[in-house]
Amino acid sequence: MRAWLILAACVGCAFGLLQAADGEPRKTIDVSRALDASAVADAAPEVVIGPTLPDPAPLIERAQWVFDLRWARGEVLLLGVRWLELPSARPTPRSMGRFAIELYEGQTLVERQRFDFPLLGAFEPDAAPSLVRGLSTRLTVTFPATRRGTRLELLDRATNRRWPLQWPPRLPADAGLD
């Protein structure tokens, strides 16, 4: 019974947030019918789906690649890559962020690790000059070392700019070997 009350409250809050988000009047949905398929179908045209693919199921790996990345005056730089062995396998954590490292197998998204650079803040293309233009910041992103995948990309989701990354990455000791 408690789970149904929580679910009904969540559905009510979600519809309230959608209505408040753009200030346009929305069709009222009877919460008692919220789990009814027709009520969901009636609400579907109001939902806008963006071009971003949903995150795939997280990969579970013990071995990880650690990408050392820098944001310097509007550019993303890959400073290096290193190998990390964890004590046990773990799933890729899910989070939100402006940037993402995405692994594809053909056109299929295999893994995505989202992140934000420290101090970067929200992207505002028409904003007044700010400290972000001169910002230089750095972070590491841990990504599962899987045998899957054929293409790795770094994505700036705010500008839809993509940079190809080598997959699998090469360690500095491997750079001269083929």
* Number of domains making up the chain: 2
- Residue 79 and residue 163 in one domain: yes
100 lies in some domain: yes
Q: What is the pLDDT of residues 5-40, one digit of tens each?
A: 555 555 455 545 444 444 544 444 444 444 545 444
Sequential DSSP letters for 35-101 = TSHHHHHHHGGGPPP-SSPPPPPPPEEEEEEEEEEEEETTEEEEEEEEEEEEEEEEEPP----SEEE
Q: What is the pLDDT of residues 66-84, one digit of tens each?
A: 999 999 988 899 999 999 9
Is 147:158 a contact under the CB 8 Å cutoff?
no
> Which CATH number belongs to the domain containing residue 116 in this structure?
2.60.40
Residue 141 is classified by DSSP as E
CA-wise closest residue to 115 among 137, 132, 139, 135: 139
Predicted confidence at residue 126, as pLDDT, reads 61
- Residue 81 and residue 164 in one domain: yes
Q: What is the pLDDT of residues 112-139, one digit of tens each?
A: 999 999 887 665 656 555 666 678 889 9
- Residue 69 and residue 149 in one domain: yes
Q: What is the pLDDT of residues 38-62, one digit of tens each?
A: 444 555 445 444 567 788 999 999 9
| pTM reported for the whole predicted model | 0.65
What residue type is assigned to position 66 of the chain?
V
- Residue 30 and residue 100 in one domain: no
Rounded CA-CA distance 83/155 in Å is 22
- Residue 41 and residue 70 in one domain: no
More confident residue, 3 or 44: 3
Determine the structural domain holding residue 24 and report its residue range: 2-46
Give percent of the chain with pLDDT exceeding 70.
Answer: 61
Is 63:145 a contact under the CB 8 Å cutoff?
yes
Average pLDDT over the chain, rounded to an integer: 77
52 lies in some domain: no
- Residue 28 and residue 88 in one domain: no
